[in-house]
Amino acid sequence: MSGMGCVHDFELIKLPEYINIEEDNDTIYGRTIKSAIIHDDVIDYIDSQIGVEDNLFYQVPSINPGYEEAPYKNLIPKDEGFNSFGVTIFNQYSIKELRAMFLQWRVIAEKMPEAFFHDLDSQYQFDRLELLKNIDLCLNFVEELQNPQYILYHGGI
């Protein structure tokens, strides 16, 4: 991808064994193991290809840390979808839907041209191989969620 702009950050975070309960609950404590980014225009492109109602981005069980307190590793998600403009947390209870979403995106990305602009007004040219690499990273993150010591952190645009 050339340019940065509005990106969605995906971080696989390993949670510590112990969190001091006096610590601030607004902070995600843990160590980022790996990260990937996907530009917001890619999600818009996927929406244009399959429709917003069919993009699993809006249906994955999720945790909004603005409404739910840590620890997140065993918390059953009460929300659905990603917070486009803030933080969303995914844990072991989101594996099936996250895997399906990233596989859905991969199928669409495989059909994209090598390099493309989402629309004529876009400033960002996307490289299909780089996008596929980031989607595959996210798929690997999802598999790590089987261990409850890991969460997937999503930072919206």
pLDDT, residue 16, reads 82
90/71 Cα distance (integer angstroms): 12
60/94 Cα distance (integer angstroms): 7
pLDDT, residue 150, reads 95
Exposure of 31 by Cβ count < 10 A (0-12 exposed, 13-18 middle, 19+ buried)? exposed
pLDDT, residue 101, reads 96
Q: At 93, is the secondary structure helix, strand, or coil?
A: helix
- Kindly list the distances between the CA atom of residue 115 and the CA atoms of 6, 11, 37, 133, in Å, as whole numbers in the listed order: 18, 25, 17, 14
- Of all helices (H) and strands (E), which one includes residue 8? strand 7-14
130/36 Cα distance (integer angstroms): 10
pLDDT, residue 124, reads 61
In order along the chain (157 residues), what is the average pLDDT of each group of 10 residues?
69 76 51 91 88 90 91 92 92 97 95 70 74 97 96 92
pLDDT, residue 29, reads 67
Domain boundaries of the chain, sorted by first residue: 7-15+27-155
pLDDT, residue 118, reads 58
Q: Where are the beta strands (DSSP E) in 23-112?
A: 31-39, 61-62, 79-80, 87-90
